[in-house]
Amino acid sequence: MNIHFQHINYLAALAIIPVFVLLYFLLLRWKKKTIQKIGDERLVHAITKSYSPKRFTQKFLLICLAFAIGVLALANLRSPQGSEKVNRNGIDVMIALDVSKSMLAQDIKPSRLDRAKQLLGRLIDGLSNDRVGIVVFAGRAYLQMPLTGDHGAAKMFLSAASPDAVPTQGTVIGDALTMCSSAFNGREKKYKAVILISDGEDHDEGALKIASQMANEGVSINTIGIGSPEGATILDETTNELKKDINGNTVVTKLNETSLRDIAAKANGTYQLFTSTDEVLAGLQKQLGSMDQRTVTEDSLINYKNYFQWFLGLMLLLLLTELLLPETRSLGKNKMGVQQAIPVVLVLMGSLMPMFSHAQKDKQLIRQGNEAFGKKEYEKAISKYKEVQSGNKVGPIAQYNLGNALYKNQQFDDAVNAYENALTNSQSKEEKAKSYYNKGVVLQNNKKIPECISAYKNALKLNPEDEDARQNLQKALIQQQQQQQQQKEKEDDKKKQPKQNQQDKQKQKEEDKQEQQKPQPSKISKQDAEEKLKALLQQEKNLQDKLRKVNAASPNKPEKDW
């Protein structure tokens, strides 16, 4: 059985024990010198005859031993629960991220690229059983990371993606798709997906052909358009001025939804316009979850049996024994010795050990709930989270996870109550901010706009850097404004209805009167009509000639370098 310490670095604290031993001998030396300074050694011994050097040494050894066992508890000795075969269902996902300078536009705050990286980071967190690879592209495409199950490394590579990673500017979606296709296993005809996120400014007409070829090889391409159709300017980081083309015109980069939508249609995928991280993420997860998944059998040693609670119990036993053990000799029947102290300690330990077992059981329940949640068995996850006692340290975690499971199970009101319980028991700002944010999402999806606005504001107070909360708050405020406007219009319509009826009647009378007083139209001769028609045709011909001259004099399309 492979028993080992989880946190082996904590064992370095055992080096302090020799320091304790040195201090102990220095203390004995000091006591001996002090006795010599007092005077008659026999008189000193007579005064301190009840003092027991042996007991003093025993107490010191108990403290040293308790310290050593406490260090072992921190290091957490554990053993795997035996090797077992686990079937993992998953797919291969290649991420193609546009890092051209047009992605620095700030029509999506803080920038298109930053929001894209934030979205992909959360997507990777949810691909627990899938392999992930990354391709970055601008004027050329580069394989940033091949397919791997190491999601931590994937997020690290993702955070480093920037326009500096690709020296050639532009947007070549076709090359990026080709690079993604080469990263897959060519022998498989399914279980493969590409997530392409870009503003779509592509002049490579071969992208559609490549997408069609990849579809024949079993690859599904899902595209995300990030940016606005109205466009935005780009700040050139080298000059700190707005970027201009070769003719000196300010560049306005616009989202090209058409090309991205066509690519997704060719490769059996979906296109989404980036509106908010949560909405796009939900769409991607739904699409990827609907794909066929291959089963991979592997050894799992994830579940461990921990022994730290036994070390903690033994450490407490030793400290209580040291506390109850006197330094003096036992001179009478009423003096408590080690024999009397140990039963008292054992009784205390017997009452404290259930606390350790309950804590271990609650952590095991949370782990089982998390496993059920990952398998989308939400009813089972809810049952496990509800079994966790709310009065301990893991209570807020269980309540937070319970809220997530209830939300996934469409039990919105219960989910809100679970987040509120988590907020009541949470200690850290980070935990409270997450609970407020998730509570806001549930309320917003349930059309409770004022309540969700309050939740998002509380989340931002605790974590001002939460861009998801900020964006959702802005969207909720817009929805609230629209609701208020609609309500106001309804009230105004009710007030204006009687008055409008009177105005309509008055208007009808005036129209009838004007109709009666309307003069007959003057007649025009046939010759005059023909001359006016000829004049209009000549004016249209002159206008067309001018337009042709302007188009002939216009320069060629400038080269795109953003």
Q: Average pLDDT in the 526-530 region?
A: 64
Q: How far apart are CA 63 and CA 69, in angstroms?
A: 10
Contact 215, 266 (CB under 8 A): yes
Q: Is 433 in a helix, a strand, or coil?
A: helix
What is the CA 166 to chain-centroid distance, rounded?
Answer: 27
6: pLDDT strictly greater than 90: no
160: pLDDT strictly greater than 50: yes
Buried b (16+ CB within 10 A) or exposed e, 115-141: bbbbbbebbbeebeebbbbbbbbbbeb
Question: What separation in angstroms does the CA of 146 have from each of 175, 177, 180, 218, 338?
Answer: 16, 14, 9, 19, 65
Q: How many CB atoms lie within 10 A of CB 550?
A: 8
Band (pLDDT 50/70/90 cuts) for residue 282 is very high
Domain ranges of the chain: 4-81+304-336, 87-298, 359-478
Q: How far apart are CA 259 and CA 177, in angstroms?
A: 13
Contact 356, 308 (CB under 8 A): no
Q: How far apart are CA 133 and CA 96, in angstroms?
A: 9
Q: How far apart are CA 117 and CA 162, in angstroms?
A: 10
Please report the DSSP string for 304-343 in residue order: EEE-HHHHHHHHHHHHHHHHHS-SB---STTS--HHHHHH
How confident is the model over 322-332, as pLDDT tens digits? 888 887 765 44
Does the model's pTM come out above 0.75? no
- Residue 523's contacts (CB-CB under 8 Å, 6 or more residues apart) are none
Q: How far apart are CA 88 and CA 295, in angstroms?
A: 6
Q: How far apart are CA 399 and CA 414, in angstroms?
A: 11
Band (pLDDT 50/70/90 cuts) for residue 333 is very low
Nearest to 169 by CA among 262, 226, 263, 237: 237
How confident is the model over 371-409, as pLDDT tens digits? 888 788 889 889 888 888 665 666 788 888 889 899 888
Please report the DSSP string for 477-496 in residue order: HHHHHHHHHHHHHHHHHHHH
Count the helix, strand and coil residues of the chain and give each as a percent rounded to the nearest 5: 60, 15, 25
Do 87-298 and 359-478 fold alike per CATH? no
Q: How far apart are CA 279 and CA 286, in angstroms?
A: 11
Q: How far apart are CA 218 and CA 241, in angstroms?
A: 45
Contact 432, 423 (CB under 8 A): yes
Strands 192-198 and 92-98: what pairing? parallel
Average pLDDT, the chain: 79
What pLDDT shows up at residue 289? Answer: 87
What pLDDT shows up at residue 427? Answer: 76
Question: What separation in angstroms does the CA of 280 have from each of 130, 270, 275, 370?
Answer: 19, 11, 7, 24
Q: How many CB atoms lie within 10 A of CB 547?
A: 9
Q: How many CB atoms lie within 10 A of CB 272?
A: 22
| CATH code assigned to 359-478 | 1.25.40.10
Q: Which of 12-26, 197-211, 505-519 has the highest mean pLDDT?
A: 12-26
Q: Which helix (H) or strand (E) holds 194?
A: strand 192-198
Q: Average pLDDT in the 118-141 region?
A: 90
- Quickly list H helices, 409-520: 412-425, 429-445, 449-462, 467-517
Instruction: Phi first, then psi: give them for residue 124, nearest 5 degrees.
Output: -60, -40
**Does the domain at residues 87-298 carry the CATH identifier 1.10.10.10?**
no
Band (pLDDT 50/70/90 cuts) for residue 558 is very low
120: pLDDT strictly greater than 90: yes
How confident is the model over 41-68, as pLDDT tens digits? 676 666 667 777 888 888 899 999 999 9
Nearest to 425 by CA among 397, 406, 403: 397
- Residue 356's contacts (CB-CB under 8 Å, 6 or more residues apart) are 309, 312, 313
561: pLDDT strictly greater than 80: no
What is the CA 448 to chain-centroid distance, rounded?
Answer: 24
559: pLDDT strictly greater than 60: no
Contact 68, 17 (CB under 8 A): yes
